[in-house]
């Protein structure tokens, strides 16, 4: 069972999540709002509830901080951090692309909708590493909505998920 306390790695993940999203929100692709108007309401609800729960859980479970001794669970943290770095690399690809809307959903290294799937994977793996099961549950809810919405957007644009 996870105990409450400040998670500095959770806070770093949230900063890595919010900074590019704030930059994106200040300059959204032209046709994004049209895509967003077609989102399934139940997916939007899952996304919003998952966002609040994931952000809260990421910050309040101290077991997600790296801890000694290094054991088999540490691999979950390594994979989680790798997902977050790939997520940031995907944003770099997006921000340097000329086709912004398509770049949002283009696979990176075979990972479909990386700007949606990678942060979800990072938080999910972080929760597993820290045995923070509420974070895992919150991330599953987030993933259903967030990844689902982005897959629908990609399909609506006629983009391949591979």
Give the chain's mean pLDDT: 94
End-to-end distance of the chain based on CA atoms, in angstroms?
Answer: 38
**Which pair of structure tokens corresponds to residue 139?**
């991330």
Q: What share of the chain is helix, strand, coil (3-state, %, to 5)?
A: 70, 0, 25
Residue 112 has a pLDDT of 95
Q: What number is the average pLDDT over the span 81-96?
A: 97
- In this predicted structure, the answer to whether residue 57 has a pLDDT above a threshold of 90 is yes
| 19 vs 92: CA distance, rounded Å | 12
Residue 23 has a pLDDT of 96
Reported as a pLDDT band with limits 50, 70 and 90, residue 111 is very high
- In this predicted structure, the answer to whether residue 114 has a pLDDT above a threshold of 90 is yes
Extents of the domains making up the chain: 8-156
H or E stretch covering 133: helix 133-156
Reported as a pLDDT band with limits 50, 70 and 90, residue 53 is very high
- In this predicted structure, the answer to whether residue 1 has a pLDDT above a threshold of 90 is no
Q: What number is the average pLDDT over the span 142-159?
A: 95
- In this predicted structure, the answer to whether residue 121 has a pLDDT above a threshold of 90 is yes
């Amino acid at each position: 069972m996870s105990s409450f306390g400040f998670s500095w790695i959770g806070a770093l993940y949230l900063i890595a999540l919010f900074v590019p999203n704030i930059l994106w929100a200040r300059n959204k692709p032209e046709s994004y709002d049209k895509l967003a108007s077609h989102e399934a309401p139940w997916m939007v609800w899952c996304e919003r509830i998952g966002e609040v729960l994931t952000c809260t859980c990421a910050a309040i479970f101290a077991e997600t901080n790296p801890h000694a001794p290094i054991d088999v669970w540490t691999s979950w943290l390594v994979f989680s951090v790798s997902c977050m770095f790939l997520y940031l690399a995907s944003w770099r690809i997006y921000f340097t692309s000329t086709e912004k809307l398509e770049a949002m959903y283009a696979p990176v290294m075979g990972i479909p909708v990386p700007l949606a799937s990678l942060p979800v994977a990072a938080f999910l793996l972080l929760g597993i590493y820290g045995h923070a099961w509420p974070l895992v549950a919150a991330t599953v809810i987030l993933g259903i909505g967030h990844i689902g919405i982005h897959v629908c957007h990609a399909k609506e644009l006629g983009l391949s998920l591979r």
